[in-house]
Amino acid sequence: MAQSGLDLFPYTRMRRMRRDDFSRRLMSENQLSVNDLIYPVFVLEGENRREAIESMPGIERLSIDLLLEEAKELVTLGIPAVAIFPVTPTEKKSLHAEEAYNTEGLAQRTTRTLKEAFPELGVITDVALDPFTTHGQDGIIDDSGYVVNDVTTEILVQQALSHAEAGADIVAPSDMMDGRIAAIRDGLEQQGHVHTRIMAYSAKYASSYYGPFRDAVGSAGNLKGADKKTYQMDPANSDEAIREVALDLQEGADMVMVKPGMPYLDIVKRVKTEFGVPTFAYQVSGEYAMHRAAIDNGWLAEQPTIMESLLAFKRAGADGILTYFAKQAAQWLQQK
């Protein structure tokens, strides 16, 4: 006896729509485009300098002049924005991170140079103190080693203002201090930087996936095995992330970030569903290193694996992805 009801086999065969390429394309729910990609770059002092990052094969630290060559390629590929991460020389690091807001600092000079050469390329700057402190923490510490919130926030405001004055399109506080979004927004408004956007790292977890990044910016050695659990989020928590996002939006964030990415796609989904705001995710250095190692060992196919990983962010609800694969992905998308 035949089954009745349109939802029962064989009346409903889910594989019908999967049979041909054209029908798979017609019902594709999510699409990845170059417009979704943000390329993180590491910049160092000097001229004609490039340094390989051992824990991130294929990624290099570049001096500003070489970064300009890279930026030209990114613009040609249509990548909307870069995120700048400076490598601070040891002699410029200090307990109070004065170099963070130096108007002639590396991040500030890089921003000015990029905006002069490629005004159409969005420039995102990292607002955090860990590249500038001798101890590698994201803020100012007291005698016990605890990161002091309000003093740190005052310096973060100075840092963000120096970036805005240099021409940054987006300042991205990644420090996880309480109240820093409101303080930065107030500072930007008072100084007339009304068009400077804030991308808040609202749900940044105390993750083990950041190791290669800390190698890249030179803060791993300063940390000396210490952690950041007193300000970055517990990986066990989801509701807390929603509270953090809500507060940052109330304080004036234009867009919010979840970091890391793939291990926290559930958080990306919750944020996008509950708030409906521009939501970004960071495919962090540890995720890059794992993919790269498996690909280089022949255990995973390069292009389909990388593109699948990026599509997963879109499926979860991310509007944009910071990824070290951005340039490769843009090249592949251009070939389609």
Query: What amino acid positions are annotated as catalytic residues?
Result: 204, 259
Amino acid letter for position 100: A
Contacts of 104 by beta carbon, 8 Å cutoff, 6+ apart: none
* Residue pair 309/291 in contact by the 8 Å Cβ criterion: yes
Q: Which of 251, 264, 167, 255 is nearest to 210 (CA)?
A: 264
Count CB neighbours of 60 within 10 A: 17
Q: How far, in Å, are 34, 148, 165, 224, 308 from residue 302 at the CA level?
A: 18, 44, 40, 34, 10
Q: Which residues of 49-58 are buried (b: 16+ CB within 10 A; e: fewer)?
A: eeeebebbee
DSSP class per residue in 178-222? TTHHHHHHHHHHHTT-TT-EEEEEEEEB--GGGHHHHHHHT-HHH
Distance from the first to the final alpha carbon of the chain:
48
Q: Which residues of 148-163 are buried (b: 16+ CB within 10 A; e: fewer)?
A: ebeebbebbbbbbbbb
| Helical spans, DSSP H, in the chain | 21-26, 64-77, 106-117, 149-166, 180-190, 211-217, 220-223, 239-251, 265-275, 285-296, 302-316, 326-335
